[in-house]
Each structure stands twice: as C-alpha cells, then as structure tokens.
Structure 1
Amino acid sequence: MMNAVLKYKGAPGHMKFASVPIPSISPDQVLIEVKFCGICGTDHSLYHWNEAIAKAYKIDFPRILGHEFAGVVSEVGSEVQGIKTGDRVTVNPILYCGQCSYCAEGIINVCDNRPFLGTDFDGGFAQFIAVRAQNVIKLPDSVSFESGALMEPLCVAIHAVERVKPGLGEVAVVIGAGAIGLLILMVLKAIGVNRVIVTGLSVDKDRLQLAKSLGAETINIEEQDPVSIVKDITGGRGADMVFDAAGHPSVVPQAMKMVAKHGKIGVTGLPSIPSEIMMTEVSLKEITIIGNRAYELKTWLQACKLLEGGLNVEPIATHTLPLKDWESAFNLIDQRQGLRVLLAP
C-alpha cells in the first residue's frame, strides 16, 4: 500500500489523504517512486472545481491528481529498453497517441487523443506512479529532483516564448507574477531578451520582488497604470510582445492597449469566462494573438539543456510540504503565498 491524495467527487473540495494499492505496471511501463510533485493551477482549479477547467477533462473518480513530478525508477516493465531501476527521472504527462497528424509533427500538445496524467489517469500526488516508458525523461546528473518537478511548468514557459519568437532588442511584458509568469521571465532572460516588464497585484509583492531580482522591471497594477508605464518605457511605441500568464479575462484586452503595432500577444492563461476584444484594433494594428498550450516533444530536451546550462528554477519552489499536509499546501495557494508548492510523498 502507498499514501496518496485523492479527488473523489466532481464538486468543490472532496479530496482526502488515503492509503491505496501501489499500482502494478504493464510490460511497457515503469514504476516511479515520487520525490516531489508540484501543485499546478489545474490541480488547484480541480480541487475547487472550476467548471470551465473541469469540462476540459473527463475524470473518473476517485482520481489521484498531480502531473508535475520527479522521482526514481523503482521497477521496469519487461518490454522497456533504455531505462533501469535507480534512474532519476521526470515525466511528460501528456499521453499522446503517436498516430495522429499532429503527433507526426511533434506537436503532441494538440494531439487528437491526449489523455493526461493526474486527470485521465492517476497522477503524482502519491508515493508511486505507473507511467509508460516513452513519456519518461531522464534528469541530467546536475539537475535536482526539485528542479525536475518544475520541468513541466518550465516547458510551458519555453513553449510560450518559442511560439512568440522574440527578436533582438525587443521589449516584453509578462502579465501575471505567478510561477508560469516568472518562468517565462527566466526563459526570456536566458535567450537574451534584456528588457522584460512583469505586472502583478499588491498581493504579489513578494513575487514582484523576486521578478525584480531576476532582472525584470515590475509594475503593481493596483498602484500604477501599466499601459501608460509601458508606453513611457517604450517611448510611446508599446511592447513588442505581451504574455498572458494570469488567465484573467481582462488580460488580453489590457495587452491590446500596451502592445505595439505589429506586436504579438502570447496567451498561456486559461480564463474561466470569455475576454472581449475589438477585432478592428487587431487588424488595424496588425496584432498577432498566439495561443499556447502545454509543450511539444522537443520542449523537454530544451528544458534539460537550459537546466544543464545553469538555469536555476528552484526559486520558483517556495514551499515544500509533506504529502499528508496537502490541505495546508492548497491553503497557501488560496492565500497567494509563494509560487510553486511542492508535495513530498
């Protein structure tokens, strides 16, 4: 038996710490002993049962949530090659089909049939998880388990930046000072975007301070008008690119006001209700709005290379709690304390 945190009903709350059987593995799977698992915004939304998020998944309850994790291989299926017990690993949680036209291009994030660990299958809020071998990524020796558990959101940030394709000397704005927003900041800095502005709320004071320490200019939008400040910083031109990392319906309309002509808006956030934008302005300013979902196959290799090259994402993991204290962990997120909260089974 093993410890796990179960969501047992499609309604607000209804999660518990429980003892469940250790999963058995099929010949093409490995069993991973989880060292750390991060609590994603999706997990938080499913706990509180955000209907917009819940409709995106068909969850059979009870279900072990969690899809941002790293650990050690403890058992290997008979058909698995290239992976052995004791390997330090993380996991791509998208169980892409490998057969559709999108998978053929490596864009598994929009696969026609993409079950997901932690929603369609049991996830990482547990001591052990069974995973098909093709989704396992070995961690470089220099990468800690904590960083390994942050690789999934790092991949989200890398993909968002790559889709927008920053140019030399351009100015970027990141709306939202949460984990994804600050990881986007880190990736932008890592590829040489020197001027990045991060916006947040008064409650994000500590997050904005961290953004500043990472080289960003920061704006508290409850104290200052972000549009006028961005315009001032850019000599009235506007930012070349704006990233929505907040997931609020007001973000894209705000981005429309601060982006330059011919600029780009990258949308990573997932608002629960529609945004209202004037399409005439999109046309007249030649604004490109780019949707970003998860990551591609190649993104995991890019993340490994960035971490091996010295990118330090561990400041994003501001709290680590034992799995049994999962309620305290979710309360921290409710109170907007810290960034990524890690659970240690």
Structure 2
Amino acid sequence: MRIALITADFAPNIGGVASHVVELGKALAELGEEVHVITRPLGDMREANQTWQGMQVHRPKIPRGQPLYGWLLGRWLKKFCREYQPDILHVHGLRPLEASRNMPVPVIFTNHTSGYLKRVAKGAHEQKRIARRLTHIAHVLAPSQELCDATKAVGYSGPIDFIANGVDTDRFTPNASPLRDRLGIQEDEVIVLLARRLVEKNGVTVFAEAVSALKDQPVRLLFAGDGSEQEKVETILKQNDLYGKSIFMGAVPNPDMPDVYRAADISVLPSFMEATSITGLESMACGLPLVGTRVGGIPTLVTEGETGLLVEPGNPVALGEAMRTLVENPAQRQAMGQAARQRAVNHFSWSHIATATRDIYRKYSH
C-alpha cells in the first residue's frame, strides 16, 4: 500500500504525537508498505524531501498560522495525490485536518491529545464545530477509549476504533544504566521517575504533594521533562523537604530515554488526562512497574496489582501510599516490572500496532 501520514508534529520534536507518527511510519515501512510523511521543516530537519528510517519525508514550507496553513497545505496535498496516488491519507492531530478535505482518496484521522478532550468539554457549540471538521473523515482512530467516546459525543457517526500507542520493545529494554553513577545516586536509593512535561494536565503538582509520603524513605525523585508547572513543583518540594532529593534533568531527547528508565525503579503517571501513555509504555518495556491514575488509556496499560498500581486522579494521599508500597517492597517491584515488560512485548510493540492500523487502511484501499 502507498500510505501518506500527515502531521504538523514530527521528528526531531519530542512528544507524544511526533513519536507516534515516527514509530508508526517506521513499523509500516518494515511491514513492506510505501510510507510518505507530510510534515513541515522542524528543528535541524528541514530538507524538502528526504528518505529517512524507511519513510519518504516531505516538508513543504507553509506558514503555521491558520487559515493560510490549512488552505496552502490542502493545495499541496491535492498535487501530492495527483503525483503519488496514495491509497490512504492518515491525518494525525487537529491542525492539518481542514487541509484534508475534498481529497480523491479516503482520509483516516487519529485524534491524539487531551487538548481534544478540553475542546469537547467546552460544550455544544465547540462540539458542533468539531463534528463539522470531521464530516469528510472515513474512519477515526484514537489511542484511548476516552478519546473514542469523546468523538462519538460530538456527533461523529462514522466508524471509530481504539488502537493504542505502541513502543519499540527492541530499543526500550531492561538493562544497566550509567546514569545512576553519573548522577551520584547510591545503590540502595530507590529512584522514583516522573518522565513527562511538567504541565497541569499531567498532575505534576499532585505528584509533588504525594511524595511527602516518602520523606523517611531512601528515595531520589528524578524529573525528565520541563514545562510551565516546574516552579510550582519545586516550591512544593521545598515545602515538604524533598527538593534536596530531587533531580531535574529538563527535556531529555528520546534517544537518551532508555538509560533514564533503566536507572529508575518506579515510573509514575499522575495524570488528569492521558491516552495510552507513551511514557508509560516505554517504562513498561524497560521493566518498570507503573503507579498511575484511573484516567484515559492508563488502565489499559496497568493491570492492577500485576504490572502496577492505580489510584484516582488528584488524590495525593492515595498516590503517596501506592508509591510507598512499591518503595518498601523490592520483590513486588521486580515482579511487577517483569510482568510490565511482558505485557509491553505481547500487546504494545509497534509491529503489533502497525498491523492493526494497516487492517483499518485495507478496508478502504482498492
């Protein structure tokens, strides 16, 4: 099949959508499909056309601002369809959605983010607007049941399927990490990892409150990510005397993340909104137990008591107790970590996710 993935967010950007499209495209190419990615010049990757990791990447220079972006991208896509005759267009994220109207091939749409849930929560007027934007879409995919339900709620009547995010289980593996030594962390210290952007929807201030339950434990708190809530997080940690046990690494490029996970003992997802968390999947593939909230796609990842522990969102006491349970029980941590790795391999490898996605495409290709 000739597949075109359309996204405003792609490598070298760090983040869920960029990572999803890169890995899905690579996995589809490995399955023998011809994969084109239509994105924009980003960071140090600005070539107009490039073969990269098995994909053909096209980066038209189009201004970011709407409506010009949508109009010019739409014109560019029509030309692309005439020239390459793809079997399917697969749009990722709301930004390029408008540009995919009136195309000569079926359009699949994946809505990825909690931003979509916030729009839906604004009420009937916003929901009607979203429904209008989806009228030309043949099939919607979403990486959490919550996002599937939100798409139905706006009045979209076409087919909707939940297909989880995936993880590269060959790259993210349990192993030794040089990071512990580099950061001067003692062998007996338990590393509790928060690997996410430090923004409100990720529940990062709740995490900062919850770790006061670990004050008397031999722990280190490792933050891999930055964002608008960092100052608040630091203030809370200073108040509960845990700032001295905290290490802030800032935004870590994805190629460096396996060593971050391998250095840790527990990974925490204190989110208020989340699809099937890529951080969660990468943590599991590296053999870490998860402590997560019962929102979005997190319960899809965490088999309660087997691969991790689940708590209600926004509850620092429950989150603190769950983390403490795992800090105090190394054997339980290890068993859960092994089960998490197995679950990642069996259910969430990218070849598994790409095959499920291709099955949807095949319903529409001639």
TM-score by length of 2: 0.32
Q: Which structure features the higher share of strand residues? A: 1
Q: Which has the larger radius of gyration?
A: 2
TM-score by length of 1: 0.34
